Amino acid sequence: MIDLIFIAVIAIFAAVAVINARKLIYYHRINKIGDFAQGRITGRENRNDFLMSLGGAGQKIAPVVEFETANGMTVKAAYKGEVLEGRQGFDVGTEVQVKYNPSNPEEFIIIGDSDFYGNALCIMIMGILFAAGTAAMIFIMT
For the chain, 142 residues long, the average pLDDT of each consecutive 10-residue run is 73 77 83 94 79 54 93 94 69 93 94 65 74 77 70
Domain ranges of the chain: 2-141
CA 136/CA 72 separation, integer angstroms? 55
Element (H, E) at 108: strand 104-110
**C-alpha to C-alpha distance for 121 and 6, rounded to whole angstroms:** 24
